[in-house]
Structure 1
Protein backbone atom coordinates (compact mmCIF):
# COMPACT_ATOMS: atom_id res chain seq x y z
CA UNK A 1 0.00 0.00 0.00
CA UNK A 2 1.39 3.39 -0.96
CA UNK A 3 0.04 6.10 1.35
CA UNK A 4 0.19 9.64 0.02
CA UNK A 5 2.57 11.80 2.04
CA UNK A 6 3.11 15.54 2.30
CA UNK A 7 5.73 16.88 -0.12
CA UNK A 8 8.48 17.12 2.54
CA UNK A 9 7.84 13.61 3.88
CA UNK A 10 7.74 12.27 0.32
CA UNK A 11 11.16 13.81 -0.29
CA UNK A 12 12.54 11.73 2.58
CA UNK A 13 10.81 8.60 1.30
CA UNK A 14 12.47 9.27 -2.09
CA UNK A 15 15.93 9.64 -0.48
CA UNK A 16 15.42 6.38 1.42
CA UNK A 17 14.22 4.58 -1.72
CA UNK A 18 17.19 5.91 -3.73
CA UNK A 19 19.48 4.44 -1.07
CA UNK A 20 17.62 1.10 -1.07
CA UNK A 21 16.46 1.54 2.51
CA UNK A 22 13.27 -0.34 3.25
CA UNK A 23 11.55 1.57 6.02
CA UNK A 24 8.26 3.39 6.18
CA UNK A 25 7.86 7.14 6.43
CA UNK A 26 4.98 7.64 8.83
CA UNK A 27 2.90 10.78 9.24
CA UNK A 28 1.27 10.83 12.66
CA UNK A 29 -1.79 12.77 13.82
CA UNK A 30 0.16 14.01 16.87
CA UNK A 31 3.10 16.39 16.78
CA UNK A 32 6.61 14.95 16.83
CA UNK A 33 8.25 18.39 17.01
CA UNK A 34 10.05 17.64 20.30
CA UNK A 35 11.80 14.42 21.33
CA UNK A 36 9.28 13.86 24.12
CA UNK A 37 6.31 14.37 21.78
CA UNK A 38 7.84 12.05 19.20
CA UNK A 39 8.55 9.30 21.75
CA UNK A 40 4.99 9.50 23.07
CA UNK A 41 3.45 9.42 19.58
CA UNK A 42 5.64 6.50 18.45
CA UNK A 43 5.70 4.51 21.67
CA UNK A 44 9.47 4.42 22.16
CA UNK A 45 11.88 5.93 24.68
CA UNK A 46 13.01 9.56 24.38
CA UNK A 47 16.59 8.28 23.96
CA UNK A 48 15.52 6.52 20.72
CA UNK A 49 14.55 9.82 19.10
CA UNK A 50 17.33 11.10 16.84
CA UNK A 51 16.85 14.85 17.11
CA UNK A 52 18.34 16.93 14.31
CA UNK A 53 19.60 20.35 15.41
CA UNK A 54 20.93 22.84 12.88
CA UNK A 55 23.56 25.40 13.84
CA UNK A 56 25.37 27.95 11.69
CA UNK A 57 29.14 28.01 11.49
CA UNK A 58 29.98 31.45 12.91
CA UNK A 59 32.89 31.94 10.49
CA UNK A 60 31.89 30.07 7.32
CA UNK A 61 28.11 30.42 7.57
CA UNK A 62 27.85 26.72 6.71
CA UNK A 63 25.00 24.63 8.13
CA UNK A 64 26.11 22.29 10.90
CA UNK A 65 23.77 19.39 11.68
CA UNK A 66 24.06 17.63 15.02
CA UNK A 67 22.00 14.45 15.32
CA UNK A 68 21.67 13.61 19.00
CA UNK A 69 19.86 11.11 21.16
CA UNK A 70 16.65 12.69 22.43
CA UNK A 71 17.85 12.61 26.03
CA UNK A 72 21.18 14.30 25.42
CA UNK A 73 21.89 18.01 25.60
CA UNK A 74 24.37 19.11 22.94
CA UNK A 75 27.62 20.59 24.22
CA UNK A 76 28.23 23.36 21.68
CA UNK A 77 31.88 23.74 22.75
CA UNK A 78 32.57 20.09 21.85
CA UNK A 79 30.90 20.51 18.46
CA UNK A 80 32.83 23.75 17.82
CA UNK A 81 36.10 21.96 18.58
CA UNK A 82 35.17 19.15 16.17
CA UNK A 83 34.41 21.47 13.26
CA UNK A 84 37.11 24.05 13.96
CA UNK A 85 34.89 27.11 14.32
CA UNK A 86 32.42 28.58 16.79
CA UNK A 87 28.72 27.82 16.43
CA UNK A 88 26.02 30.43 15.99
CA UNK A 89 22.27 30.03 16.32
CA UNK A 90 20.42 29.18 13.15
CA UNK A 91 17.13 31.01 12.77
CA UNK A 92 14.09 29.53 11.02
CA UNK A 93 14.92 31.23 7.71
CA UNK A 94 18.49 29.86 7.72
CA UNK A 95 17.26 26.35 8.55
CA UNK A 96 14.68 26.44 5.77
CA UNK A 97 17.16 27.89 3.23
CA UNK A 98 19.93 25.36 3.95
CA UNK A 99 17.84 22.23 4.57
CA UNK A 100 14.54 22.77 2.77
CA UNK A 101 12.68 21.81 5.95
CA UNK A 102 11.05 23.63 8.88
CA UNK A 103 12.37 23.58 12.44
CA UNK A 104 10.75 20.67 14.27
CA UNK A 105 10.73 18.48 11.16
CA UNK A 106 14.37 18.61 10.03
CA UNK A 107 15.48 15.11 9.04
CA UNK A 108 19.08 13.90 9.19
CA UNK A 109 19.12 13.40 5.38
CA UNK A 110 17.80 14.99 2.19
CA UNK A 111 18.94 18.57 2.74
CA UNK A 112 19.21 21.17 -0.04
CA UNK A 113 22.85 21.78 0.92
CA UNK A 114 24.87 18.99 2.53
CA UNK A 115 25.65 20.17 6.05
CA UNK A 116 28.64 19.36 8.20
CA UNK A 117 27.13 16.45 10.14
CA UNK A 118 28.03 15.22 13.62
CA UNK A 119 26.26 12.13 15.02
CA UNK A 120 26.01 11.60 18.78
CA UNK A 121 27.96 8.44 19.67
CA UNK A 122 25.15 7.39 22.05
CA UNK A 123 22.83 6.82 19.07
CA UNK A 124 24.96 3.87 17.98
CA UNK A 125 24.13 2.02 21.23
CA UNK A 126 20.36 2.17 20.85
CA UNK A 127 19.35 -0.33 18.17
CA UNK A 128 16.31 1.11 16.42
CA UNK A 129 15.99 4.89 16.45
CA UNK A 130 13.43 7.27 14.99
CA UNK A 131 14.17 10.46 13.07
CA UNK A 132 12.08 13.32 11.72
CA UNK A 133 10.98 12.82 8.13
CA UNK A 134 10.63 16.37 6.92
CA UNK A 135 7.58 17.64 8.84
CA UNK A 136 6.78 18.22 12.53
CA UNK A 137 4.60 15.08 12.55
CA UNK A 138 6.47 12.61 10.33
CA UNK A 139 9.11 10.05 11.29
CA UNK A 140 11.03 7.06 10.01
CA UNK A 141 12.83 4.21 11.77
CA UNK A 142 16.46 3.31 11.20
CA UNK A 143 19.58 2.26 13.10
CA UNK A 144 22.49 4.40 14.21
CA UNK A 145 24.78 2.65 11.75
CA UNK A 146 22.41 3.40 8.88
CA UNK A 147 22.11 7.01 10.04
CA UNK A 148 25.89 7.41 9.85
CA UNK A 149 25.99 5.74 6.43
CA UNK A 150 23.18 7.88 4.96
CA UNK A 151 24.27 11.19 6.50
CA UNK A 152 28.02 10.78 6.12
CA UNK A 153 28.24 12.09 9.66
CA UNK A 154 31.22 12.04 12.00
CA UNK A 155 30.46 10.02 15.15
CA UNK A 156 31.54 11.89 18.29
CA UNK A 157 30.85 12.55 21.96
CA UNK A 158 28.67 15.66 21.89
CA UNK A 159 26.88 15.74 25.25
Structure 2
Protein backbone atom coordinates (compact mmCIF):
# COMPACT_ATOMS: atom_id res chain seq x y z
CA UNK A 1 0.00 0.00 0.00
CA UNK A 2 1.52 3.31 -1.06
CA UNK A 3 0.58 5.23 2.12
CA UNK A 4 3.17 3.19 4.03
CA UNK A 5 5.88 4.20 1.57
CA UNK A 6 8.33 7.09 2.06
CA UNK A 7 7.13 10.28 0.33
CA UNK A 8 9.66 9.97 -2.53
CA UNK A 9 8.56 6.38 -3.16
CA UNK A 10 4.89 7.40 -3.20
CA UNK A 11 5.69 9.75 -6.11
CA UNK A 12 7.36 6.84 -7.93
CA UNK A 13 4.40 4.54 -7.20
CA UNK A 14 1.97 7.12 -8.57
CA UNK A 15 3.96 7.39 -11.78
CA UNK A 16 4.09 3.60 -12.14
CA UNK A 17 0.28 3.41 -11.79
CA UNK A 18 -0.13 6.19 -14.39
CA UNK A 19 1.98 4.14 -16.82
CA UNK A 20 0.12 0.90 -16.10
CA UNK A 21 3.13 -0.79 -14.52
CA UNK A 22 1.91 -3.32 -11.99
CA UNK A 23 5.12 -3.96 -10.03
CA UNK A 24 4.76 -2.94 -6.38
CA UNK A 25 7.44 -1.03 -4.53
CA UNK A 26 9.09 -3.21 -1.88
CA UNK A 27 10.57 -1.68 1.28
CA UNK A 28 13.76 -3.52 2.22
CA UNK A 29 14.89 -3.79 5.86
CA UNK A 30 18.45 -2.78 4.90
CA UNK A 31 19.59 -0.19 2.38
CA UNK A 32 20.28 -1.56 -1.09
CA UNK A 33 22.21 1.43 -2.39
CA UNK A 34 24.39 -0.63 -4.74
CA UNK A 35 23.52 -3.22 -7.38
CA UNK A 36 25.33 -5.91 -5.41
CA UNK A 37 23.37 -5.15 -2.22
CA UNK A 38 20.06 -5.05 -4.08
CA UNK A 39 20.79 -8.32 -5.90
CA UNK A 40 21.76 -10.02 -2.64
CA UNK A 41 18.62 -8.74 -0.86
CA UNK A 42 16.39 -10.02 -3.69
CA UNK A 43 18.28 -13.20 -4.55
CA UNK A 44 18.64 -12.19 -8.22
CA UNK A 45 21.49 -11.83 -10.70
CA UNK A 46 23.28 -8.49 -10.29
CA UNK A 47 22.78 -7.92 -14.03
CA UNK A 48 19.00 -7.71 -13.47
CA UNK A 49 19.42 -4.63 -11.28
CA UNK A 50 18.70 -1.49 -13.31
CA UNK A 51 21.08 1.03 -11.77
CA UNK A 52 20.03 4.66 -12.08
CA UNK A 53 23.15 6.75 -12.63
CA UNK A 54 22.96 10.50 -13.13
CA UNK A 55 25.57 12.21 -15.26
CA UNK A 56 25.99 15.69 -16.69
CA UNK A 57 26.32 15.99 -20.45
CA UNK A 58 26.41 19.22 -22.41
CA UNK A 59 25.36 21.05 -19.23
CA UNK A 60 22.22 18.95 -18.69
CA UNK A 61 21.48 15.94 -16.46
CA UNK A 62 21.54 12.58 -18.22
CA UNK A 63 20.04 9.50 -16.56
CA UNK A 64 21.67 6.21 -17.54
CA UNK A 65 19.81 3.05 -16.56
CA UNK A 66 22.56 0.46 -16.65
CA UNK A 67 22.78 -3.21 -15.77
CA UNK A 68 24.29 -3.76 -12.34
CA UNK A 69 26.85 -5.97 -14.09
CA UNK A 70 28.21 -3.04 -16.14
CA UNK A 71 30.22 0.11 -15.69
CA UNK A 72 29.34 2.99 -17.96
CA UNK A 73 32.11 3.89 -20.42
CA UNK A 74 31.37 7.62 -20.50
CA UNK A 75 33.77 8.41 -23.35
CA UNK A 76 32.36 5.67 -25.59
CA UNK A 77 28.78 6.57 -24.69
CA UNK A 78 29.39 10.26 -25.43
CA UNK A 79 30.79 9.31 -28.84
CA UNK A 80 27.81 7.01 -29.57
CA UNK A 81 25.37 9.77 -28.62
CA UNK A 82 27.25 12.55 -30.42
CA UNK A 83 27.76 14.50 -27.19
CA UNK A 84 30.74 16.55 -26.06
CA UNK A 85 31.37 14.68 -22.83
CA UNK A 86 29.62 12.83 -20.05
CA UNK A 87 30.70 13.21 -16.42
CA UNK A 88 29.33 12.11 -13.05
CA UNK A 89 26.86 14.46 -11.40
CA UNK A 90 27.59 15.66 -7.87
CA UNK A 91 25.26 14.42 -5.12
CA UNK A 92 23.72 17.90 -5.04
CA UNK A 93 23.09 17.87 -8.81
CA UNK A 94 21.57 14.38 -8.56
CA UNK A 95 19.13 15.56 -5.90
CA UNK A 96 18.34 18.73 -7.87
CA UNK A 97 17.63 16.76 -11.05
CA UNK A 98 15.74 13.85 -9.49
CA UNK A 99 14.52 14.93 -6.06
CA UNK A 100 16.14 11.71 -4.83
CA UNK A 101 19.44 10.77 -3.17
CA UNK A 102 22.24 8.75 -4.74
CA UNK A 103 21.65 5.06 -3.99
CA UNK A 104 17.89 5.40 -4.30
CA UNK A 105 17.35 7.19 -7.61
CA UNK A 106 14.32 5.75 -9.38
CA UNK A 107 13.87 5.81 -13.15
CA UNK A 108 10.85 8.10 -12.63
CA UNK A 109 9.22 10.43 -10.11
CA UNK A 110 11.55 13.35 -10.89
CA UNK A 111 10.55 17.04 -10.90
CA UNK A 112 11.09 17.13 -14.69
CA UNK A 113 11.58 14.30 -17.21
CA UNK A 114 15.25 13.48 -17.77
CA UNK A 115 16.92 12.47 -20.99
CA UNK A 116 17.48 8.76 -20.36
CA UNK A 117 19.68 6.06 -21.86
CA UNK A 118 18.72 2.43 -21.15
CA UNK A 119 21.48 -0.20 -21.27
CA UNK A 120 20.70 -2.70 -24.03
CA UNK A 121 22.07 -5.49 -21.81
CA UNK A 122 19.04 -5.18 -19.52
CA UNK A 123 16.92 -6.71 -22.29
CA UNK A 124 18.46 -10.11 -21.47
CA UNK A 125 16.50 -10.34 -18.20
CA UNK A 126 12.77 -11.17 -18.05
CA UNK A 127 12.41 -9.13 -14.86
CA UNK A 128 14.41 -6.10 -13.76
CA UNK A 129 14.55 -4.35 -10.41
CA UNK A 130 15.00 -0.59 -10.04
CA UNK A 131 15.28 1.75 -7.06
CA UNK A 132 12.01 3.15 -5.79
CA UNK A 133 13.13 6.65 -4.77
CA UNK A 134 15.09 5.77 -1.61
CA UNK A 135 17.97 3.37 -0.82
CA UNK A 136 15.44 1.13 1.00
CA UNK A 137 12.89 0.80 -1.81
CA UNK A 138 12.92 -1.19 -5.03
CA UNK A 139 10.39 -2.41 -7.58
CA UNK A 140 10.15 -4.94 -10.43
CA UNK A 141 9.46 -4.16 -14.07
CA UNK A 142 10.28 -5.48 -17.52
CA UNK A 143 12.78 -4.05 -19.98
CA UNK A 144 9.94 -2.83 -22.19
CA UNK A 145 8.26 -1.13 -19.23
CA UNK A 146 11.55 0.56 -18.28
CA UNK A 147 12.05 1.94 -21.79
CA UNK A 148 8.43 3.17 -21.92
CA UNK A 149 8.50 4.61 -18.38
CA UNK A 150 11.64 6.63 -19.05
CA UNK A 151 11.02 7.36 -22.75
CA UNK A 152 14.60 6.13 -22.90
CA UNK A 153 16.93 5.51 -25.80
CA UNK A 154 18.32 1.96 -25.80
CA UNK A 155 22.10 1.90 -26.26
CA UNK A 156 25.28 0.04 -25.42
CA UNK A 157 26.73 1.77 -22.34
CA UNK A 158 29.85 -0.24 -21.48
Under TM normalisation by the shorter chain, which class is it?
Answer: over 0.9
Shift of 1:110: 1.8
The 5-angstrom pairing of residues 43-122 of structure 1 reads: 43-57=43-57, 59=58, 61-81=59-79, 82-122=81-121
The normalised TM-score by structure 1 is 0.94
Query: What runs of 5+ residues in structure 2 fail to find an aligned partner?
Result: none
In the alignment, the residues of structure 2 paired with residue 67 and residue 27 of structure 1 have an alpha-carbon distance, to the nearest angstrom, of 21
Structure 1 stretches (4+) deviating beyond 4 angstroms? none
What corresponds to 2:145 in structure 1?
Answer: 146
- Cα distance change of structure 1 residues 83 and 135 upon mapping to structure 2, 3 Å threshold: farther
| 8 A contact 1:31–1:41 mirrored in 2 | no
Deviation at 1:113, TM superposition (A): 2.3
Gaps of 5+ in 1: none
How many residues were matched structurally? 157
Q: Deviation at 1:46? A: 0.5
SS at 1:108 equivalent: coil
Deviation (angstroms), 1:129: 0.6
- For 1:95 and 1:144, locate their aligned partners in 2 and report how far apart those are by CA, in whole Å: 23
